[in-house]
Amino acid sequence: MSRRAFTIVELLVVVAIIALLVSILIPTLTMARSIARTAQCAHNLRQIASAFRAWAGETGGQAGRPTYPFKERWPQVPYNVLPQRQVFWCPDDPGGKTMTVVPGLLYFLSAPSYGDVRIPFEDCKNCASRTGKDEDGPYTDFVFEESMGVQVQWCPNGPNEYPNCTHHDDKDGVFRFRVNEDGAMTMTLLNFHDNTRTVIMLNGQQLWPEGDGGSLHDYVGKTKIFSTFISSYAINSAVGQKYDVPPGTLTLVDYDEQYADLDYPDVIAQHLRRKSVARHLGRVNVLCADESVRRMGPTEANPKINPDLWWPTVRP
């Protein structure tokens, strides 16, 4: 008894049906995963709100004491209460747990010919990065070229060919970063060469050189250790400065800087539009002073458009 085989047309129809079902299911599954990550982010913010309360209780908790730390102490507080570091990462943050440099760390150059320049520690026209591993473990190197408009390239003969590979490619600053087991970061200046005033800034504060005067030349070959308390959420820079914080004030925002500084509302608005907007289906999660978590569009959360959401009752 002979069996009738599938025709090529029948097979193509089956394949087409399967492809159609997959094309329908993939967006649905992607949406479901995005919704789950949004919910996890909101849960993280509620956990942090609880940790704020616990920290306030540990440090006195007297009437009128703010539950929010000063911006310079975020997110060191409340790490001591809530040490699970993953809570401080938004699951939709693409940089997230792989970040090797603290947000807000800048190479600050002041030169008469082109004014003040702030170059972030990331790949850009005047900075290049690479990772490697040696006997002390993995590291990330950053190299800066201060000649504006010169594309940075690594020296062709390996990592030890600092400085002065070629003219205008003299590696004005080369920094090596490592993350310790306790989360602290070490930064070693491998090479420095410039004729201008150059400092390293961290969240607007001078990190190197330390104190008044001096030069980065003095730090070549030396290592500085600093805390790498970083988070996918930024604290509102105003909430730790006054005791009267209305319930609807935004205290934490889904934002990729250490704190949202109201001295620069344009910068906040830019980040909300260009970076955080990619999270949570075009919206951002925010934690309010009443510990509620809300989802806002970048326009609604814009401090220039809705300043009352950001400022405490008494403005600094």
Print the SS3 string covering the chain: CCCCCCCHHHHHHHHHHHHHHHHHHHHHHHHHHHHHHHHHHHHHHHHHHHHHHHHHHHCCCCCCCCCCCCHHHCCHHHHCCCCCHHHHCCCCCCCHHHCCCCCCEEEEEEECCCEEEEEECCCECCEEEEEEEECCEEEEEEEECCCCCCCCCCCCCCCCCCCCCECCECCCEEEEEEECCCCCEEEEEEEECCCCEEEEEECCEEEECCCCCCCHHHHECCEEEECCCCCCEEEECCCCCCCCCCCCCEEEEECCCCEECCCCHHHHHHHHHHCHHHCCCCCEEEEECCCCEEEECCCCCCCCCCHHHCCCCCCC
Strands across the sheet containing 259-260:
259-260, 233-236, 250-254, 284-288, 293-296
Residue 167's pLDDT is: 44
Residue 199, classed as helix, strand or coil, is strand
Distance of CA 36 to CAs 90, 232, 272, 290, Å?
12, 17, 21, 23
By C-alpha distance, which of 285, 289, 306 is closest to 248?
A: 289
Residue 169's pLDDT is: 52
Amino acid at 260: A
Q: Where exactly are the structural domains of the chain?
A: 10-93+231-309, 100-226
Strands across the sheet containing 205-208:
115-120, 105-111, 197-202, 205-208
Residue 85's pLDDT is: 73
Residues of the chain with pLDDT under 70: 1-5, 58-66, 83, 94-100, 112-114, 148-170, 181-183, 212-213, 241-243, 275-278, 314-316
Residue 93's pLDDT is: 77
Rounded Cα distance, 293 and 287, in Å: 5
Residues whose CB is less than 8 angstroms from the CB of residue 314 and which lie 6 or more positions away in sequence, other chains included: 242, 244
By C-alpha distance, which of 32, 79, 71, 74 is closest to 54?
A: 79
Q: Are 228 and 102 in contact (CB under 8 A)?
A: yes
Residue 256, CA atoms < 13 Å, CB-side half-sphere: 21
β-partners of residue 128 are 143
What global pTM score does this model have? 0.64
Residue 111, classed as helix, strand or coil, is strand
Residue 99's pLDDT is: 58
